């Protein structure tokens, strides 16, 4: 009898924990690979001799492939079996990662990144479904904490470790470091993961799949290129917005009228699951936004070197690990308590960031990063447990794919909105502050007001203008952090509506 023939009911304790370790390793590697490229783009751009717009496709196409394949997880699992999907997904992800490091021009890198995203997309939702299905419900809080570390901590470790290896040995080694661990995960999955049967009669609803894929792809393109193309001043952005809205309308109408839709809308009749989707969307909005805003702020406004920025990102990861361990204990309580506590800690970190000024220290930023990571760790476990507590186990794979799709979409949407808020707010505040730098402003004649600044020559005016721009940019970031805080608090009413099974 092979591992594939063993039913989940016959799992020993050792097999369950072996499955948890290997599945978490595979998911961690995929999560790590998502953002590791963000620190490699400058090196890759020089090595591959391409423009900034062209090298951005290395990230954009990976995100698009992930967005398209993630909703297919339920159908892939039913059609081919969860063991085959995990094995082939991990194998394809590992092989394409190796190919990314060996590529010598832009086109192969983009193609391999598409394969990497497509093969890795089912790993997170299916991995979560496997963990919840393998362990009894009274252990879901503990195992979700361990699994969640891979989902949340991986994107924190990736840029930090990848940037360190790229600085020492070149950008290719940021991909090579994933390959041996991917092979270990593949061997572990082959040895321990069991199948749960399949339903070869399941058909793919091509209308729903193509409509949802088109909507998600157009939305991702709009968010990725909107700021660069000045949003709706560009015909491309207008076309993408119209196509995204039209395709989503077709998807909704078809899902409500088809006999066997691509994604089952009846799942939304489960109150906890529907609330969980809304909360995880906001969770995704808040998760990666500080990681995107903080590095350019620290580098351009305060002059922090890359090594210090990497240290700060690492502190966020340390806070997340601490949060997951705390969630193992908090998981014994009402899940609404854990989620409320986590979002309040996130709101406190947002207030902390909104108080930053030009004299902010590394200690201040590091403490804030720990708070953010701690909040992320605390929220994930009770949110996941509460979302799937009342969902029929046969819908776990499909439900988990939608869950993680909305988490990723939340991140994309909010990051784009936050970056836009920073840029627009900076422009407005620069114009407002520059009005006061004038010979007609008699206050500037006071000798103690300008200090080392001067308006007497062009060089001094340029330096003063640079400082005005710096202050205006800081106000822009502060406004984004205030919006972040408001979003943290706005989700609390949804948390209180979650139903607790007694």
Domain spans in the chain, listed from the N-terminal domain onward: 1-202, 205-261, 265-502
Q: Which CATH superfamily is domain 265-502 in?
A: MFS general substrate transporter like domains (1.20.1250.20)
| Residue 119 and residue 347 in contact, taking contact as beta carbons nearer than 8 Å | no
Whether 265-502 and 1-202 are alike in CATH topology: the answer is: yes
- 470 burial via Cβ count (<10 Å: 0-12, 13-18, 19+): middle
What is the reported pLDDT for 217? 84
> Looking at per-residue confidence, does 43 or 90 come out higher?
90
Is residue 148 within 8 A of residue 384, CB to CB? The reply is yes
The count of C-alpha atoms lying within 13 angstroms of the C-alpha of 124, restricted to the half-sphere facing its C-beta, is 32
Cβ neighbors of 17 (< 8 A, separation 6 or more) are none
pLDDT surpassing 90 at residue 241:
yes
Question: Given phi > 0 = left and psi -120 to 50 = alpha, else beta, which region is 441?
Answer: beta
Cα 391 from Cα 244, distance rounded (Å): 30
DSSP 277-305: HHHHHHHHHHHSHHHHHHHHHHHHHH---
Q: Which residue has the tokens 């591959």?
A: 48
Confidence of residue 412 (pLDDT cuts 50, 70, 90): confident
Rounded CA separation 396/128 (Å)? 9
| pLDDT surpasses 70 at 450 | no
What pLDDT does 441 receive? 65
Phi-psi region of 451 (alpha: psi -120 to 50; beta: other; left: phi over 0): left
Say if residues 324 and 144 touch (Cβ distance below 8 Å): no
In the predicted model, is pLDDT for residue 350 greater than 90?
yes
Task: Tell whether domain 1-202 is in CATH 1.10.1240.10.
Answer: no
pLDDT in tens, 69-106: 888 888 888 888 888 999 999 999 999 999 998 988 88
* Residue that has been written with the tokens 């470091």 in this structure: 177
Report how far residue 133's alpha carbon sits from residue 223's, in angstroms, rounded to the nearest whole number. Answer: 35
- Measured CA to CA in angstroms, residue 446 lies from 264, 437, 462 at distances of 70, 13, 20
Burial class (CB in 10 A: 0-12, 13-18, 19+), 6: middle
pLDDT, residue 274, reads 92
375 burial via Cβ count (<10 Å: 0-12, 13-18, 19+): buried
pLDDT at 6: 43
pLDDT digits (tens, 9 = 90+) for 297-319: 887 788 777 667 777 777 887 88
Residue 482 pLDDT class (50, 70, 90 cuts): very high
Integer Cα distance of 83 and 97 in angstroms: 21
13 contacts: CB under 8 Å, gap ≥ 6:
none
469 closest CA partner among 431, 441, 422: 431
Give residue 365's region: left, alpha or beta (phi > 0; psi -120 to 50).
alpha
For 61-96, letters b (16+ CB in 10 Å) and e give: bbbbbbbbbbbbbbbbbbbebbbbbbbebbbebbbb
| Measured distance CA(296)–CA(418) in Å, rounded | 13
Per-residue pLDDT, averaged over 227-248, amounts to: 89
């Amino acid at each position: 009898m092979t591992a594939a023939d063993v039913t989940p009911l016959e799992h020993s304790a050792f097999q369950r924990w072996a499955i948890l370790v290997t599945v978490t390793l595979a998911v961690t590697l995929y999560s790590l690979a998502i953002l590791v490229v963000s620190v490699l783009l400058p090196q890759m751009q020089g090595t591959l001799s391409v423009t900034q717009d062209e090298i951005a496709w290395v990230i954009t196409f990976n995100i698009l492939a992930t967005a398209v394949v993630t909703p297919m997880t339920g159908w892939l699992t039913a059609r081919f079996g969860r063991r085959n999907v995990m094995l082939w997904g991990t194998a394809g992800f590992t092989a394409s990662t190796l190919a990314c490091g060996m590529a010598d021009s832009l086109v192969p890198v983009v193609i391999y990144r598409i394969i990497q995203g497509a093969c890795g997309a089912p790993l997170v939702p299916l991995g979560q479904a496997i963990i919840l299905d393998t362990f009894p419900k009274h252990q879901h809080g503990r195992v979700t904490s361990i699994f969640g570390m891979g989902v949340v901590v991986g994107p924190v470790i990736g840029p930090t470790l990848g940037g360190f290896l790229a600085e020492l040995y070149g950008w290719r080694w940021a991909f090579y470091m994933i390959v041996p661990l991917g092979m270990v995960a593949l061997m572990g999955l082959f040895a321990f993961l069991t199948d749960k049967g399949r339903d070869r009669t399941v058909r793919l609803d091509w209308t729903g799949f193509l409509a949802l894929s088109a909507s998600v792809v157009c939305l991702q393109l709009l968010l990725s290129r909107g700021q660069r193309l000045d949003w709706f001043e560009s015909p491309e952005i207008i076309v993408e917005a119209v196509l995204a809205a039209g395709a989503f309308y077709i998807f909704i109408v078809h899902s409500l009228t088809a006999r066997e839709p691509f994604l089952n809308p009846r799942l939304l009749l489960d109150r906890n699951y529907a609330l969980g989707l809304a909360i995880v969307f906001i969770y995704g909005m808040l998760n990666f936004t500080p990681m995107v805003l903080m590095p350019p702020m620290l580098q351009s406004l305060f002059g922090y070197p890359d090594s210090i920025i990497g240290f700060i990102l690492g502190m966020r990861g340390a806070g997340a690990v601490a949060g997951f361990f705390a969630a193992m204990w908090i998981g014994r309580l009402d899940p609404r308590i854990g989620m409320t506590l986590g979002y309040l800690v996130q709101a406190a970190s947002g207030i902390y960031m909104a108080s930053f000024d030009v004299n902010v220290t590394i200690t201040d930023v590091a403490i804030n990063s720990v708070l953010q990571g701690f909040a992320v760790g605390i929220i994930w476990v009770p949110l996941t447990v509460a979302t799937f507590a009342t969902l029929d186990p046969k819908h776990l794979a499909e439900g988990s794919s939608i869950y993680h799709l909305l988490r990723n979409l939340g991140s994309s949407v909010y990051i784009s909105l936050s970056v836009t808020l920073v840029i627009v707010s900076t422009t407005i505040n620069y114009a407002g502050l520059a009005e006061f730098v004038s010979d007609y402003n008699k206050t500037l004649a006071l000798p103690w007001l300008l200090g080392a600044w001067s308006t007497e020559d062009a060089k001094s005016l340029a330096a003063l203008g640079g400082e005005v721009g710096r202050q205006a940019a800081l106000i822009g970031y502060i406004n984004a952090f205030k919006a972040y805080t408001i979003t943290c608090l706005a989700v609390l009413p949804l948390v209180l509506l979650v139903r607790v099974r007694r």
